[in-house]
Structure 1
Amino acid sequence: MTSLPPSSSHQALLGHHRSVMPDWLALYYRDPLELTHGEGRHVWDAEGNRYLDFFGGILTTMTAHALPEVTKAVTEQAGRIIHTSTLYLNRPMVELAERIAALSGIPDARVFFTTSGTEANDAALLLATTFRRSNQILAMRNSYHGRSFSTVGITGNAAWSPTGLSPLQTLYLHGGIRTRGPFAQLSDAQFVEACVADLEDMLGQTQHRSVAALIAEPVQGVGGFTAPPDGLFAAFREVLQQHGILWISDEVQTGWGRTGEHFWGWQAHGRNGPPDMLTFAKGIGNGMSIGGVVARAEVMNCLDANSISTFGGSPVTMAAGLANLAYLLEHDLQRNARRVGGLLIERLRAVAAGLPVVREVRGRGLMIGIELIDADGSPSPHAATLALEYARENGLLIGKGGREGNALRIAPPLSLSIAEAEEGAEMLGAALQRVQSETEGELLP
């Protein structure tokens, strides 16, 4: 195969991609984008088109594209030393660990860094199963926790589970989706009560003394930004504590203030204290590969064999994380997510009003989902695909997810301005109106 010159055409790049990458490595859009640079909340493609970015590389560009504080920290650290591994003392790693431990809410916390959310959840499962001497895991229906062999085994979304084989015995609970399923018509209090009864019934069907942990996303990310009523996991926690079962909060997408109301997603369910472990990734690195686990010392220190990380805690990524976290806190981006996110969801509900293709606009902070349906009320992945395409044509990048692939995912950088929120809502509203017109046309005789 010939090498690909830097000046090669878009179509040539796509051809090379398809010839060398796996078939299952998905690309957005009929005509996939090559993004070449970004600034603030905008990115540009190889043809020079500018887009307002409402997805941030899957919730990863948390503060802003090309944030000067982060690029400066990366450049300066790379000029000193790029790599050492965890076999040596690493000042940026220790400093970032101290900040995250203090922010986590977990007492006597220890932090282990990885390179991704998948690896973070994998490490949390290793710790939980070792600590409890069990391979039984409780997980939520419609959940997503990563693409490794173990995390696929606890993912409750069939679209992201390419194998039924797993080293774990996973038991799936109700509660991740508030507006669908057998408990959808109940009040919030009744919903929580029913889900707790489901948990207790599940534990009654198994050797619950050997269940290792519950792992759950406070807001299901890939699942379409669905969430239970506040307090569900606090109620679960009461049952879990009776049996010594650990609670792992998967904060890969909900952490760092994205939901606006709280810094961590678990805090909406924190009546009975923090989780035993939380996992994080994505936004903390603002594009650099950082993941990690925070756990109370008793759990973190349970391993009795050697375990290191070659790339977790890299000096360069840690420098980026420190600069990014400092910017986030100093500029109170959690408050901005609450304020601008509240306005954005109001605007999106307004533009969706009167469009039968939109079943629901949901979310909190800058983590918003729009669920699309057919005329008969069934999920419409086709409508979601059209909305993605039309939003791009209007200059807006969004994501897609949900159990049936029919939910739009909106998660801009947390520095989004009010003017940009208004602009994005207008672009998406126009795209949804076009989807409505086209899908109505398909139903005509």
Structure 2
Amino acid sequence: MITSKPSRTVPSPPPTARPTTDGEAGPDTLLARHRRVMPGWVTPYYDRPLALTHGSGRHVTDDEGHTYLDFFAGILTNSLGYDLPEFREALQRQLATGLTHTSTLYLIEAQVRLAERLAALSGIPDPAVFLVNSGTEANDTALMAALCRAGNNHVIALRDGYHGRSLATTAVTGLPGWRPSPYSPLRVTLADNGAAGTGRTRTETDDERAVRAVHAALESEGAAALIVEPVQGLGGFHTPPSALLRRYEELVRDGGGVLISDEVQTAWGRTGQRWWGYELHGLRPDALTFAKGIAGGLPMGGVIADRTLLDSLPGKSISTFGGNPLSCTAALVTLDVIRDRDLLRNADEVGSLLLARLRALQEREPHLEAARGHGLMLAVDLVEPGTGRAAPATARAFVSACRDLGLLIGMGGPEGNCLRIAPPLTVTNEEARAAATALEQAAAATRPAG
């Protein structure tokens, strides 16, 4: 479905991807310039990386004029899609004032109004709100407050979790490939995330063993915090078992620690019918961290926490750009649109349609396994038929085949074999059906021989 304008149909059969080698990237192409000035670890998708130039609705257009249905939403960030009139007009009104930044040395009306809205939505008694620019900063802030409150640097985190790219947040990240530094300011215990693993079935014995391991880690010294993603994002949209998370929460609380729910990917209705991912599990978080979809693509993150927890920081702190008028305006209109268009319900309904199609596809295709998800946070794994071993190369081929069909999706998982599907919350049933058709065609195109 590569077109010159947005299309709601996916043709068949899929076109053949044009093989590209590095040699085809001349010295003045955008890819060549990117490689000259960016670190080597900043790696775009695809052999021919996309350069996107325009967006409308749930579609994006690249610099060659090809249009794609976007089902990854800037890594779950463009929650409203693209070029929504209410969003654009609200930003234009703020820009017309001439104030895009004032700093927290002054009162910012949009910041206070947003903090009031977030506090009311949080479910945390007597909350305080601190606004920053990213999920990494948000998690750093919550961890720092927890450590200052507890007087120790022991943190319980989950295997396959991802919490950011700073020194502290990489330390609590449970994906080895995303922990680039051997240095850490924290003592971290990585707890079992409840995933069965390839070719295994999870049992109660596994859960009991996991709980005993956390209990043993807490015996010598309690933990300042337990930090969890209600649905693990980069870890492949895996949902840890609710009962296991509640056991961990109880153990950490008994030792005087707090629960930090990392909602960077799960907040704002992404999981369907609920504002927060923690509501999937019946948890009682002391702090919520958020970013990504809150401001429709503008930089915004923050912490909502029990006031006594955030006030545990003994010194002063500010965020120069956190809570700037432009990003706060974007966040306020994003929350308005999610509420006024009932996008929590839409995420649930459209997500159910997509998940049903994924599960039906899995039944027909031997190289697809473990279709799963909540709302518009869906995934399926690519495996070798017969052995069930992870097939990351097939996953990459699948994502490229989807691109050739005009559909953008993501990858992830601890073994790199997971397809991540997360369109904007404004996605329609018709667009979901078109995407499902493209996924079916990509599955046929990547089906192993024999």
**Fold-level similarity (TM above 0.5):** yes
Matches within 5 A, 1:271-310: 274-310=284-320
> Which position in structure 1 is the counterpart of 2:5?
none
Q: More displaced, 354-363 or 143-152? A: 354-363
Matches within 5 A, 1:11-410: 12-80=29-97, 81-177=99-195, 179-180=196-197, 184-186=201-203, 192-204=207-219, 206-208=220-222, 211-270=223-282, 274-375=284-385, 376-410=387-421
Contact 1:143–1:176 (8 Å) recurs in 2: no
Any unmatched runs of 5+ in structure 2? 1-24
For residues 132-177 of structure 1, give each alpha carbon's deviation from its aligned partner in whole angstroms, at most 9, with x where no partner exists.
1111110000110001111111100011111121111110001252
Contact 1:339–1:365 (8 Å) recurs in 2: yes
Q: More displaced, 43-52 or 258-267? A: 258-267
Question: Match of 1:118, as an amino acid?
Answer: T
In structure 2, do the counterparts of structure 1 residues 72 and 192 end up closer, same or farther at CA, with 3 Å as the change threshold? farther
In structure 1, distance between residues paired with 2:303 and 2:28? 41
Q: Aligned with 2:50: secondary structure?
A: coil
In structure 1, distance between residues paired with 2:207 and 2:348? 25
TM-superposed CA distance for 1:269, in Å, is 1.9
Contact 1:352–1:432 (8 Å) recurs in 2: no
Alignment length, in residue pairs? 424
TM-superposed CA distance for 1:407, in Å, is 0.3
Question: Match of 1:197, as an amino acid?
Answer: R
TM-superposed CA distance for 1:76, in Å, is 1.3
For residues 31-67 of structure 1, give each alpha carbon's deviation from its aligned partner in whole angstroms, at most 9, with x where no partner exists.
0000011111111111111101000000001122112
Q: Aligned with 1:353: secondary structure?
A: helix
For residues 305-333 of structure 1, give each alpha carbon's deviation from its aligned partner in whole angstroms, at most 9, with x where no partner exists.
12011000010000000001110011111
In structure 2, distance between residues paired with 1:349 and 1:61? 26
In structure 2, do the counterparts of structure 1 residues 260 and 122 end up closer, same or farther at CA, with 3 Å as the change threshold? same
> Which position in structure 2 is the counterpart of 1:431?
442
For residues 204-250 of structure 1, give each alpha carbon's deviation from its aligned partner in whole angstroms, at most 9, with x where no partner exists.
3x312xx1100000000000000122343233222222121110000
Contact 1:253–1:282 (8 Å) recurs in 2: yes
> Which position in structure 1 is the counterpart of 2:449?
440
Question: Match of 2:409, as an amino acid?
Answer: I
Structure-2-length-normalised TM-score: 0.91
Structure-1-length-normalised TM-score: 0.92
Contact 2:26–2:32 (8 Å) recurs in 1: no
Contact 2:145–2:309 (8 Å) recurs in 1: yes
TM-superposed CA distance for 1:110, in Å, is 0.5
In structure 2, do the counterparts of structure 1 residues 21 and 267 end up closer, same or farther at CA, with 3 Å as the change threshold? same
TM-superposed CA distance for 1:352, in Å, is 2.5
Fraction of identical pairs, as percent = 46
In structure 1, distance between residues paired with 2:93 and 2:299? 17
In structure 2, do the counterparts of structure 1 residues 343 and 10 end up closer, same or farther at CA, with 3 Å as the change threshold? farther
In structure 2, distance between residues paired with 1:184 and 1:429? 27
Q: Aligned with 2:31: secondary structure?
A: helix
Q: Aligned with 1:440: secondary structure?
A: coil
TM-superposed CA distance for 1:426, in Å, is 0.6
In structure 1, distance between residues paired with 2:148 and 2:417? 38
Question: Match of 1:135, as an amino acid?
Answer: N
Contact 2:87–2:334 (8 Å) recurs in 1: yes
